[in-house]
Structure 1
Amino acid sequence: MDTNLRPAPRAFELRRQSDDLVYRFERCTGPSGHAGFKRTDGDHWIIRHELLGWIAGDWGSDEVFGRPWDLLAVQSGEVPPEGIWVSRKGPKSYVYELVYL
C-alpha cells in the first residue's frame, strides 16, 4: 500500500501578507456541478478554469480576480497549489499565501 497517497484537501486558507487577514475556503460543488473551493464568508470561489488552471473567479465568466503567482495553467494539478497567490480588487493588488489545513 502506498503511504504517500493523501486524500484531497477539504479546506485551505489564503493568508494576506500585508496585514495577516485570513480567508478560509472549503471544498464545495459549484452551480455547474464541478468541484471548487468556496470562501466561508461569501460567494467567492477558487475554481479550475479549463484554459487558465486554478483561479479566483466566477463560474460563468473568464474574469480572473486572483491566481497563483509562479505557476502556469498547464502545471495546475487536481487542487489549487500551495504557495504565493496574487489578487486584484479594483486598482489594488494583494499577495497571499495559500496554506492547506
Structure 2
Amino acid sequence: MSEHPIAPRKGPTLRTPSPSLRRAALLAAAAGTLMAAHPLEAQNTDSVAKLPGAAAERDTVPLLAPSRVAALPPARRAAWTEYLERSRRDQARDRALIDAELKTLGQA
C-alpha cells in the first residue's frame, strides 16, 4: 500500500499574517481605542438633544417645587400654596389612618 500523496504535517504550523492583514488589525484596534476613549463626544451630535422638549426632559426640579411656586404671579402663587397646604394635610390624615389600621392588624 502506498502512502497518500498529501500526508498531514506533524505538529501545528503557524502562518505569519500578511502585512495587509496586520495593518488592518492595527487600524481596527486603533479605531476601537479612539472610540472607547471619547464616548461623550458622540452625545454632541445626538439628534434627540436638539428636540424642543429635550430641556424639559433633563429638568429634575419638581413641578411644584417651592422655587417654582414662588416665581408665579401673586394670585396663582396663592392658589397653588393653598393647594399644596391642603394636599399635605390630606396626606398626613391618610397616613395616620393607614398607620392606625396597620397597628390594629399588628403590622405596624
User: TM-score over 0.5 for the alignment?
Assistant: no
Q: TM-score when scaled to structure 2?
A: 0.17
State which structure, 1 or 2, has the greater radius of gyration over its C-alpha atoms: 2
Higher share of residues assigned helix:
2
Structure of higher RCO (CA pairs closer than 8 Å, 6+ residues apart):
1
Higher share of residues assigned strand:
1
